[in-house]
Amino acid sequence: MSEPTDRSRRRAAVLGSPIAHSLSPVLHRAAYAELGLADWSYERFEVDEAALPDFLAGLGPEWAGLSLTMPLKRAVIPLLDSVTETAASVEAVNTVVLTEDGRRTGDNTDVPGMVAALREHGVESVESAAVLGAGATASSALAALARICTGEITAYVRSAARAAEMRQWGERLGVEVRTADWADAARALRAPLVIATTPAGTTDALAAALPERPATLFDVLYEPWPTALAARWSAYGGAVVSGLDLLVHQAVIQVEQMTGRTPAPLAAMRQAGERALAAR
């Protein structure tokens, strides 16, 4: 007969592959400390798609939630009992909330995290926007823009296949998406809101094409930071929202969902993330 589980101890973790450089443990542990949740722990586990089913099957009632990064955001969906409308709209789950009876609910906090990060910088609504890139983060960007953009969204992409994908996402999310070739990406910089979803170094060459009075740049990268484009944008007096802003805001929602405590300590979590990045 197995020993009873200590119900006062709660566990959470981030899963993915690779996972070693994830900032999620830093952010969540900072929240637990600020909230006085001494019996809560948050770890990281290297888990790929093949190992995910067995990992989930082995979780006990002490588990409260999981954060998911690549390559698990889509692979986890068939293993869940339910997913929220937001997660279903982008076919990506980055948060799993677990109940003691074993029920698994998937959500996507990247989308509302983007909206919250923009709101914190004074961007409540825009008449048009540009998206640089067409990967998984770009679909989350479109979902966020569906909530705040009243007009056309232009996505700058490198291939016809990517262009078709972005238009399909737009139709699915109920937003008007026009696509343009990456060779014309400098035109994006004049939009009221530019969301850069590309890997490190991809937008560096665009910095030289910045207009004199740029509006708002949301660059989803946080390491290395600032990117060449973000640094030039800031120097020209434009507003810049960083990947750390996104990471912190989506983690705030995760903490609230997993612990049931609101509001999560945004300032303490951001400070912990800034210190961790500075130490690297």
Catalytic residue (one of 10, 73, 232, 270): 73
How crowded is the C-beta side of 102, counted as CA atoms within 13 Å? 6
Report the alpha-carbon distance of residue 98 to residue 105 in Å, rounded: 7
How crowded is the C-beta side of 201, counted as CA atoms within 13 Å? 0
DSSP reduced 3-state for 26: helix
Distance set, CA 49 to CA 32, 53, 66, 79, 97 (Å): 29, 8, 15, 11, 19
Which residues make Cβ contacts (< 8 Å) with residue 78, sequence separation at least 6?
Answer: none
Distance set, CA 37 to CA 29, 45, 275 (Å): 9, 21, 21
In the chain, % helix, strand, coil (3-state, to 5) comes to 40, 20, 35
Amino acid in the structure at residue 63 = W
Which residues make Cβ contacts (< 8 Å) with residue 99, sequence separation at least 6?
Answer: 105
CB burial class (10 A; 0-12, 13-18, 19+) of residue 48? middle
**73 in catalytic set:** yes
Report the alpha-carbon distance of residue 132 to residue 100 in Å, rounded: 42
Catalytic residues: 73
